[in-house]
Amino acid sequence: MKKQTVLLVFTICTMALSFAQTSSKTQEKLTINTSKSEIKWSADYAFYFGGHYGTIMFKEGFFIKSNDVISGGEFVIDMHSIKNTDIEKEDANLSLVDHLKDGDFFDVKKFPTAKLIITNVIYHDPTHMKIIADLTIKGKTMPIDFQAEVDFKTKQMLTKFKIDRTRWEINYGSKSLKENLQNSVISDAIGFEVKLSL
């Protein structure tokens, strides 16, 4: 009888410990509000002042929250939603957007979405972090990293970063192509200002 009691107590303790360990590793999926989230993009000319800028929308996305901190996430970008906001003349605006959507740039008909998957988060303090992620554009996935800040009051994550578009084989007008004339060269860097809202 004594042995059975000891065995029962041991079993209960083991189950409690297992439950505690499982609870400490619980994850929560936090879906972003796509209507409040936004991406602003910018692309400058390489050899003189000026360029173009605009917006593009998220199709869907979520953060992974582990032990009260952001530990991962996955975000899908709707490439059809790309807009230019610096050209007022409608026909010129549409012409630029159509060019961005064709094969010279993002080939949106073939690749209607882009995706960013967070693979690691390194915290500097409770609200500032370095994010390491895989970014897929035109079916090509490359690693990137950038700094980000969380605002708990507004439930937002904010970040600014640039990518080298040639890593994703977006080479039109690139300074790396010798045949391009200097006054038509576009910077290889594309800038992004991102707001992710819950």
Tens-digit pLDDT string for the chain (198 aa): 555 544 444 444 444 444 444 444 588 999 999 999 999 999 877 556 567 889 999 999 999 998 888 899 999 999 999 999 988 898 988 998 998 999 888 999 999 999 999 999 999 999 999 999 999 999 999 999 999 999 888 899 999 999 999 999 888 766 554 444 444 467 788 999 999 999
Asked if residue 9 is part of any domain, the answer here is no
Asked if residue 2 is part of any domain, the answer here is no
Asked if residue 6 is part of any domain, the answer here is no
Asked if residue 44 is part of any domain, the answer here is yes
The beta strand positions in the chain, using DSSP E, are 27-31, 38-45, 51-66, 69-84, 113-123, 128-137, 140-151, 156-164, 186-197
Asked if residue 108 is part of any domain, the answer here is yes
If one counts the domains in the chain, the total is 1
Asked if residue 46 is part of any domain, the answer here is yes
pTM of the model: 0.78
Structural domain range at position 108:
27-197
CATH code of 171's domain: 2.40.128.110
Whether the CB-CB separation of 163 and 153 falls below 8 Å is answered with no
The neighbour count for residue 75, using CB atoms within 10 Å, is 23
Asked if residue 20 is part of any domain, the answer here is no
d(Cα 149, Cα 115) in Å, to the nearest integer?
20
Asked if residue 85 is part of any domain, the answer here is yes
Whether the CB-CB separation of 32 and 195 falls below 8 Å is answered with no
> What are the residues whose beta carbons fall under 8 Å from the beta carbon of 89, sequence distance 6 or more?
none
